[in-house]
Structure 1
Amino acid sequence: MHFLSSSFEESDQHSGFGWLGLTCKYMFKGSVSDSGISVESISSLSGAHKIIETSDILLAIDNIPIGDDGTVLLRNERVDFRHLVSVKKPYENILIKLLREGEVRECNVTLKPVQKHYIPPSYYIFGGFVFVPFTHAYIDDAEIHEDCTDHFLYKTESMVKELDTGEQLVMISVVYDNHDVNQDFRRLEALMVHKVNGVEVKNLKHLIELVEGSCTEHLRLDLQDGEVAVLHYESAKEATVGILKRYNIFFSKSENLRGSD
């Protein structure tokens, strides 16, 4: 999710971010192996459109193998494979190795820029979870599977109509890996957050207040479809600093939410 790149906040140049435009399924089975990840959908606006196909297995980017948990090994630690894209600029090429119908292939994909109408979103990061309000820009950036988009929009927009003034739907946009605090939680991406520690979430600012005001040992997130995430609060708080550094993100909150922090 390139809106979190530090260069965005530093330069505010919307054209400064490359975008791959893929949605992938991870095949992690308990121990990481470099067997790759499966492509579920490709945006028609992506440079990968008509080059990469659904059900292709991504094996490597720029000759760096991709693990079946969606991570790559950099400087003796595993990070999300999307980091390899985030350090690229628009119109730069990336070399992708993939497996298609039993045959290993290589192809060059030219990264497209983030759309110029793109507006820097509100966001909050805690324990690797990136929380954002639901917007149409979020739908585009989240690269939701094309087959699910109409149903997703209908469901969420119906909920938006029921909101009172000042309320928002809050989503988990991305889960940045930290095996100490959020292992196996990447499956929760693109789900709405209903409650924090049993309290209904009114909007993103309210979620931040609930998280940062928590006095419990564990932080419980009640999510869409009955999903639940439980984080050890102090461990998640400490891990946030390392996650921001690893992904070159200056702040845990978007500028409009930082206030006097």
Structure 2
Amino acid sequence: MKIFKYLSVLALFSVSLLASQNIEESIVKIYTVSKIPNYTTPWNSSIRRSHGSGSIISGKRILTNAHVVANETYIEVKRHGDTKKYEAEVEFISHQADLALLKVKDETFFKGTKSLKLDGLPKFEQEVAVYGFPMGGDSLSVSRGIVSRIEHNRYAHSREIFLSIQIDAAVNPGSSGGPAISDGKIVGVVMQQMKRSQSIGYIVPMVMINHFLDDIKDGKYDGFAHIGITTQMMENSAIRDVYKMDNSITGVLVIDVSEKSSAYNKLKKGDILLSLDGHSVQDDGTVEFVKNKYTSYKYYIDKKQIGESINIEVLRDGKKIKLNLHLENIADDNMLVNTLAHDTMPKYLMYGGYVFTPLTRNLIMNSRSTLLPLREAAGKWACEKKDEVVILLKVLAFDTNRGDHNFSLWMIDKVNGVEIKNFKHFVKIVDESEGKYLILENKDGVKIAIDREDAMKVEETILKRYSIDNAKRL
């Protein structure tokens, strides 16, 4: 009997060891060379070398984070247990969900490998193992922990809020993109760690990964739908009475709707959002996504693909109304200032030493600006009249622009009396202007006058003085 028990334990150990070896053979180290834009001097960029992790999945593809390969100029991959690096390229990328799929140019890279299988949403306190190459090491590292929380959080790469899984396994730089494994299957992709904490990391859950993989089946990436509304919790009894909500009703108050959103002219300010596809919205803005577990009501919107519809129920003037919304937009379509940009260089126009650019979240973050108007603009909806903010980024000092050298991060609302719709419209006005002066004006009536003839004369001199190759990137 004792011999049988010993053999059974030995057999289980052997199976576990074999399973671990199969997983290890499917883990990849990713080497990335990136071109990093400089949003405060948009004509400049720098080169950065970094590394991350990934895993081999079906279709001879490597699943990793978007931020591991963002702004890439060259990618190499190396399998665990191998010394040879292979050139790879991005096949699809979702900066929203911080996910990417790579393909390797030489398919002999996959010889002898097995694709890791994908699982579903893990349970609370379920054990997970994180595989990757943290802190610059060439040897594979495995850390273990449990699922400690599942809820919506802000993704550091896109600054958008989506479902994420918190784990207490050690997650460090270099681990990004590696798989979180439970029962031999992928339950998420390692994404980020909580600063100033110990052993608190976050992974992208399978609901996000499956959405991404389903999205790209037609050969292009569309993104995650954005409904384009602002809501307020309804936990206070007085505000509930104002909107005729009895004790049997829960929901959130719609306080604003983006003019660009498909919800515009369907949802109205003052509506109470009661349910999404039959799932009740609670007074704190959450929905039940598994039994007795709640997260943001965005959960049921995030599950939809662009082009799909969602059924909603609202309380309007004390009456329940059912609506159907066709989901057409991502967040960037609805917002005045886009989410963080990647894989693109910033646009700019230099005119007589005055440097103009669209306002971006990259610029706000990189300049560490505390200017309230810029941050307020980042929270506003786009509309037909204005769908992008144009700013005077800085003034490159020259004798023709004396007196204006201190202008920086200055929002422009009008050019020669014409209200600006976006940066493209701004450039068109500048190019087609025929008067002696170009008059810039903000919403407070402050004006800057640029002598067009002087600006054109000194352009080449200013470019040479400040070592700038081109006066614009549009």
Please report the TM-score for the alignment, with normalisation by the length of structure 2.
Answer: 0.28
Higher helix share: 1
Instruction: Answer 1 or 2: higher relative contact order, Cα 8 Å, separation at least 6.
Output: 1
Structure having the higher strand fraction is 2
Larger Rg, first or second structure (1 or 2): 2
TM-score, structure 1 normalization: 0.49
